[in-house]
Amino acid sequence: EDQVTQSPEALRLQEGESSSLNCSYTVSGLRGLFWYRQDPGKGPEFLFTLYSAGEEKEKERLKATLTKKESFLHITAPKPEDSATYLCAVQPGSQGNLIFGKGTKLSVKP
Amino acid sequence: DTGVSQNPRHKITKRGQNVTFRCDPISEHNRLYWYRQTLGQGPEFLTYFQNEAQLEKSRLLSDRFSAERPKGSFSTLEIQRTEQGDSAMYLCASSSTRSGTGGHEQYFGPGTRLTVT
């Protein structure tokens, strides 16, 4: 069964304290792995797509990496405005839909 | 603004009533998806369309749920005889299969928050 597990469920950081979020997955034929950011009461906002093991992508303070079994979202020197829930999703090769994890709720304190 | 739009943003209804939500995708996108999200969970897939054809439906989509995309543009999701368990955020997303990449990024709308009393 295709499945996505994110850890930790919640993460509290001080401003400037770098850390990583984990996304473990099992999927039949990975077409793509996606990271989204979601603010309370809003729809998910697309961040990155990763297609194959070894791939990395960066955007401002965020860097996403991919292996055959997991993906990491590294946050460097976070700011309070980075506080949000970060969602990981996979697209199985035979399907059009995304399978999401439950997300990691990140809080960054000034 | 050329993003995905959804209406209404909020809907409060009584148990047993029917409700209908609308989604307008990004104009050049040929795929449209519906998801449902409850508190503390990630979005769960309900159904998706490529142009006007409904290609896949989740087992979550009971016979009280129906979705249409009559002209391959906007879509509607109807829930008949609502139950309290239907209370959730209903999200719409769209994507294009014409990008040539392996995975197709899905862009989400702001969602419709349904409360069944």
pLDDT-derived band of residue A104, with 50, 70 and 90 as boundaries?
Answer: very high
- In Å, how far is B44's CA from the nearest CA of chain A? 7
Question: How far is Cα B75 from Cα B109, in angstroms, rounded to an integer?
Answer: 13
pLDDT-derived band of residue A1, with 50, 70 and 90 as boundaries?
Answer: confident
pLDDT at B59: 82
B113 touching A, CB under 8 A?
A: yes
pLDDT at A9: 97
Please give the residue that has the higher pLDDT: either A30 or A79: A79
pLDDT at B1: 56
Task: State which residue of chain A sits closest to B55, comparing Cα positions.
Answer: A96
pLDDT tens column, A52-70: 999 999 999 999 999 999 9
Question: How far is Cα B101 from Cα B108, in angstroms, rounded to an integer?
Answer: 19
B106 touching A, CB under 8 A?
A: yes
pLDDT at A95: 78
Q: Which of A43, A51, A95 comes nearest B109 by C-beta?
A: A43
Mutate to test the interface with B, among A97, A99, A102 (most CBs of B within 10 A): A97
pLDDT tens column, B43-53: 999 999 999 99
pLDDT along chain B (117 residues), means of 10: 91 98 94 96 96 88 93 94 97 85 83 98
Q: Residue A55: its chain B contacts at CB < 8 A?
A: none
pLDDT at B81: 97
pLDDT-derived band of residue A107, with 50, 70 and 90 as boundaries?
Answer: very high
Which runs of E-coded beta strand occur in chain A? 3-7, 10-14, 19-26, 30-38, 45-50, 56-59, 62-66, 70-75, 84-92, 99-100, 104-109
Cβ <8 Å between B4 and A42: no
pLDDT-derived band of residue A28, with 50, 70 and 90 as boundaries?
Answer: confident
* Span A17-38, average pLDDT: 95
Question: How far is Cα A31 from Cα B4, in angstroms, rounded to an integer?
Answer: 23
pLDDT at B102: 57
A98 touching B, CB under 8 A?
A: yes
B42 touching A, CB under 8 A?
A: yes
pLDDT at B2: 81
